[in-house]
Structure 1
């Protein structure tokens, strides 16, 4: 951990604001002091910060996070400026420039937008700026959201090729049951995802200003560690100790190897717009032999997808086994299904001899 060159730190709303809404200056100041100390140790930092909606509650006279999307967006519009202004002032005390980066799901769903976000964050880091990332709650709709900034943080960690992801919340570690439950035991390390079997997860905190909980943090940890990024989960109060490499919180060891950004994007940052059903032979070829998806193994399809769209490859029982970028429109699939590449090329033309999904554009789920 102390050798991590680039660290992504995610902090939740409840760790930055009062229960009634509004920014807690002391909490923000304390977090910034920790981040500045990390920067002074020649480690690059990207901050993924929740809190925009929560920060806007008090100025708008709202007692709690509203359910109506329009009111959430209004609170985010007011609160985002207040939040970034506070970060900017606090970082300036340490001679650090803050850079705001607001993302929506669409920015990571679309390959061109994903690459642009990558270039922007890389340039900010090269210039010595500390990027502050948040979901763009002002324009995001309920249908296209990350769900919580924990998942966004895991995706950003891969986007910037981070060496470590630190998730800060109001809970000091992962427990095998809700911490308030008598007899619950703290889990210091998770060596593999199998270690989570039997862990009972509680609901989001009672402060009423955040949207996450341990469920979203474990999902973020899974995304990160499966692609080679270790994760530390702890409370904001222990942020300094965690970033200094002390044994606080829960350490999730990386269980996979870092994969190409294209495959990460395809698995974790896209939503399938359709599906292609394949037979058992095609499933085995994809899973065991790393094969492309050929027309011969297709038995059906659904959805109105087009060339280049992400689609799920599902087995005969309807379970998604892979996701890939398709080389044909949906209306072409029926006449291709079950046919060999040689037959298609001879009868429909050379263009139809290619794979339905090439292996380089396919990720096993």
Structure 2
């Protein structure tokens, strides 16, 4: 698509300033621009896939060629507008999150998933952003993405200068840590490119040391098959017995490597109501979530990323956490009896996947 007359007459520095201001106006917290060249990142991806570290995420293998080059994903792309959006709701407290992880009757849902599905929130705002750009510079080619296509989002954001890749493989930023979502607009307009930022992890290995399953096998190396976020969300099968105790009371995702990271002392809360926790997911007990029927699960998680895993995986995860509660000396006998009864009652109608995990919870040696 030929460039519009509007674009050719715009001052680049003024356009870049306008893009940043408009991004903030639409609820984004950072914006940087990069080209489409991913360099050695594509080789590292191929090595990671060849080692099978993606587990059951076959879609990563299936579309590996598209991930290697945004121009293959959207022909004509010459720039990628990368944005961040903070997701911590007001009142977030990392000390309280650690305390909840130590409380065996609590059900811990990853902080990012307690509100509305970020895919919908970012996609809509990215679309609005693209339309605003079109009004500013004239017609141009674009597509918006947020964790919804074969795109190396973290690598593009790193290359654009939104932060550096931490040893846990997440993007880190000096101003806001790592508690943000990423979004992209692939465009066919040669916008000015931003520079990369320096790395600031130094000799710190806190994220590696704290990982409950030692999924961070070396700096910048993650084995998804060991990661609790993968096990509780992406994994469609039984959770390997070797990792069940390490899951503790984490029933959807895991935040440990972010909670421990020194840079997250700068983590910022969001002003967007979309990410406010819903249905008490920041304080819910295992028994409360276990009591939900499938209809209640569907209704209460409507518009939530959690709904994607389905009721069976949800119950699978809860059953493991309840089994860990039964093994905890910190839980009173009365509470344990309530959990045993709930699990036994649930066994009657459980499918094969959930039944396996209930039986393990009631009798870990089976």
TM-score (norm. length: structure 2): 0.28
Determine which structure has the larger strand proportion and give its number: 1
Determine which structure has the larger helix proportion and give its number: 2
TM-score (norm. length: structure 1): 0.28
